Amino acid sequence: MSRCLELARRGLGYVNPNPLVGCVIVHNNEIISEGWHVAIGQAHAERMAILALKDRSILSECDLYLNLEPCSHFGKTPPCADLILEHQFKKVYVGLLDPNPLVAGSGIQKLQEHGIQVETNILADECLTLNRFFYKFHTEKRPFVTLKWAESKDGFLAPLPIQRFQISGVGTTEITHALRLEHAAILVGVETWNIDQPLLSNRLFEGPSPKKFVLDPNLRGNYTIDSEVVVFNRKKTESNGLIQYVQIEEFDMLQGIMRFLCDHQLNSLMVEGGSKTLQSFIDANLADEIHTYKSKTGMIGGGIEAPKHQFDKINEVDLPDDIHMKFNRIS
């Protein structure tokens, strides 16, 4: 199952809104074939592993391992449960059940009804962590929201008057770009947009960049860039070249944004600033995960304070200039 998870991670950034899935075929306690879901619309992990095996006549003597329940419905590809039945595997090991209502246990049920043994809940915590975006999307009908910011040693994001200000040091860029690769969408507030004119792209790793959004209720942004961006606002819905304006009519703009992202099958959102925007997601109980880079030595002495939260710290990494801390919401 650990190997399934390793293989599944190869689909990071390519499979959204589908889950990350890896598959291993075992014969006489030896791995003889592997596969993973490479990209949205392409063959699922089970099919990739089966097709990679030259001698498929031995599959009825093999066990199959998956970090997520095989699908049982027709989507962009045929049901994987049917493919497993076709080759009559001895036993199937599944990390977690699929939360998608179109599956939700029916894949396992189909296998069992046709005489295939199935064992579930293997490395369940690891499987859930890997596909936390997928689970959030299907169980709560909203995107998984990750917040990220850098703060000085004394707890500020920037001095006053507001200006572009570099806090984080060596090693933080790689972490940020890896997070961007994972997420389907990324958002900043209008102040951050105007001051920093951020690219918000994944430029360090092979793979796509998240779809870009700006929260700009009163349309104060300077949108002169040469790449696509969606602007959430209170005033209009229209397109102007690469800039798409989307009017949010709900009183609570964040709920309107969540609805828009769900409607467009964007299962994860990374929020990078500024302080007011970050704090609004925390206060609305919409944040799920927080990444901070706290400077070891850099002091500001006053200005824009870092957001306040009561999340659980689950990891801390010592970088050359900063401490990278990861927090999860309290269950």
Residues marked as catalytic? 46
Please list the alpha-helical segments (H only) found in the chain. 2-8, 45-51, 80-87, 106-113, 124-130, 132-140, 172-182, 190-196, 253-263, 275-283
Q: How far is CA 56 from CA 85, 87, 114, 290, in A?
A: 13, 8, 20, 46
The pair phi, psi for residue 173, each rounded to 5°, is: -60, -40
Nearest by Cα to 102 from 222, 18, 162: 18
Nearest by Cα to 296 from 324, 271, 323, 315: 323
- What letter represents residue 298's amino acid? G
DSSP 238-304: EEETTEEEEE--SSSHHHHHHHHHHHTT--EEEEEE-HHHHHHHHHTT---EEEEEEESS----SSE
| 127 within 8 A of 3, measured Cβ to Cβ | no
Contacts of 33 (CB under 8 A, 6+ apart): 24, 25, 49, 50, 52, 53
